Amino acid sequence: MTFSTLFTIVMALIFARIFWLKIKDVSMKSESFKQLPAKDQLSVLKECLLNNPTETNLKNLKEFSQKQGVELDIKSYRPFIKKQQELTRRKDALAEDNELFTAEAEWIDQILPMEFEEAKLAKQENRFEDYILHSLEGVARLYSDRAILSELDSLVQDYPKAKVLAQGYRELMELRDSSGADDESLKKLRAAKESWEKELLQVDIEQ
C-alpha cells in the first residue's frame, strides 16, 4: 500500500470512493491479501472502510483488530454508515460528503498504523534512522489533515525536517481546497503530492 493511493483518496474525496472500493474489495478476497504483513492488511482494511462505510467493512476491521489483541469500539462509527446511506440517495450532497469523509478519516486515524510501533521499538533500541523512517512511513498511512500535521509536529524535536514537511503539507491542503475537480487540476495536485511524498520518505539525518 503506497502513500500515493492514500493521498489520492484525500485529494479526490467522493470521486475516488467507488473507484478505489472496487480495487480494494478484490484485493481483500485474494490470496495476495492474506499473505500481506499485518501492517499492510490493516492499511487495506482501514482504506476499505473509509472508501465504503458499510457494516461488513466495519466488522472486518473489528475482527482484524481483535486478532491483534485490540478491542475496537465500532458503535461510534455506525452513525457515519447511516449518514453515508442518506447522502448516497442525494445528488446535491458533495459538500456534506466531504465533511463526512473528514470525520470518517479522523475516526480511522485513531487506529494508528503499525509503523508507529516499529518506530517506537527502533527508538528504544537506539536505531535512530529506522525510528525516523518508520515514523514517516506511519505518517504516509494517515488520512486526516489533523493527524498528519500532529504527527509531523511531534517529530520536529527529533527530526527538524518534519517542520518543513508540515509546512509543505499545509501548502498542499491549500492547493487541494482551492482546486477544481477537472483532469488538469487533478494532474496538478498529483504532481504536487508526488513531490511532497518524495520529500516525506527521504530521510535526511544531520551528522
Spatial contact of 144 and 102, defined as CB atoms under 8 Å apart: yes
Chain position carrying cell 465533511: 99
> What are the b/e assignments for 157-186, b being 16+ CB within 10 Å?
eebebbeebbebbeebeeebeeeeeeeeeb
72 Cβ contact partners less than 8 Å away, ≥ 6 residues apart:
61, 62, 65, 66, 111
| 101 and 144 housed in the same domain | no
Tally the residues of the chain: 207
| 92 and 142 housed in the same domain | no
In terms of DSSP H, where are the helices of 68-182? 78-88, 94-108, 115-124, 128-139, 145-155, 161-177
188 Cβ contact partners less than 8 Å away, ≥ 6 residues apart:
175, 179
Instruction: Please give the Cα distance from 84 to 144 (Å, whole number).
Output: 18
Lowest mean pLDDT among 24-28, 122-126, 147-151: 24-28
| 94 and 12 housed in the same domain | yes
In this predicted structure, the answer to whether residue 70 has a pLDDT above a threshold of 80 is yes
Q: Which of 108, 141, 173 is the last residue of a domain?
A: 108
- 173 belongs to a structural domain: yes
Q: Which of 62, 78, 108 is the last residue of a domain?
A: 108
- 172 belongs to a structural domain: yes
| 70 and 131 housed in the same domain | no
Chain position carrying cell 478519516: 105
- 205 belongs to a structural domain: no
- The domain of 196 spans 115-200
Most confident of 9-23, 63-77, 94-108, 175-189: 63-77
| 96 and 120 housed in the same domain | no
| 90 and 122 housed in the same domain | no
Chain position carrying cell 500532529: 150
Q: Which of 83, 108, 133 is the last residue of a domain?
A: 108
- 206 belongs to a structural domain: no
- The model's confidence at residue 94, banded by pLDDT at 50, 70 and 90, is low
Global pTM value: 0.83
| 79 and 129 housed in the same domain | no
pLDDT tens sequence across 14-64: 344 433 444 455 456 677 778 889 998 999 899 889 888 889 899 989 999
